[in-house]
Amino acid sequence: MHPFVSALAGGVLIGAASALLLLTHGRVAGISGIVGGLLAPARGELGWRAAFVAGLVGGGLLLRLLSPGAIGAPVAGAGAAIAAGLLVGFGSRLGNGCTSGHGVCGLARASGRSLAATLTFMFSAALVVLFARHLLGGLS
C-alpha cells in the first residue's frame, strides 16, 4: 500500500472515530483524558472508555497482522521510550490535553486554546528532533 493511501486512510479513521464519539457521547476524543478516566471512572464511563482504548490497541494489532511491514521496528530503546512516555504524560497534564484532544478535536471545533496548544506541541517536537537527531547524533 502506498504511504499516501495509508496516511489518508488513517486520517479518515481518526476523524470518523472522533466525530462518532462526539456525536454519540458528546465527548472529545482526547486519548490522555480517555485513558486517565479509566483509572478512576465515573459512573457509566467505563464501558465507552474501555471500548475506545480497545479499538486503538485492536486497530494496531490488526494492522500488524494484515500488513506486517506497516509498523516498523522500534527506533529507540526501552529507556528512551519510557522517558518519552513520561514526558508526554507530563506535557498532557501541563497542556490540559494531548495532541489528539487539541490537535484533532480542538482544531475541528475552532478552539483558540487548542490552536495555541497544537502550535506549542509542534514547535516542541521540532526542537526535540533537532536536538536528538541532529545535534546529539540520535538517541537509542
Question: What local confidence, expressed as pLDDT, does residue 1 receive?
Answer: 64
Please determine, for residue 57, whether its predicted confidence score (pLDDT) is greater than 70. yes
Q: What is the DSSP string of the chain?
A: --HHHHHHHHHHHHHHHHHHHHHHH-----HHHHHHHHHSPPTT-HHHHHHHHHHHHHHHHHHHHH-GGGS---SS-HHHHHHHHHHHHHHHHHTTS-HIIIIIIIHHTT-HHHHHHHHHHHHHHHHHHIIIIIIS----
Please determine, for residue 138, whether its predicted confidence score (pLDDT) is greater than 70. no
pLDDT digits (tens, 9 = 90+) for 9-21: 888 988 898 889 8
Average pLDDT over residues 68-87: 83
pLDDT band at 54 (very low <50, low <70, confident <90, very high): very high
pLDDT digits (tens, 9 = 90+) for 85-136: 888 888 888 888 888 888 888 888 888 999 999 999 899 889 988 988 888 7
126 or 73, which is more confident: 126
Rounded to the nearest integer, the mean pLDDT of the chain is 86
Give residue limits of the domains in the chain. Answer: 1-72, 75-140
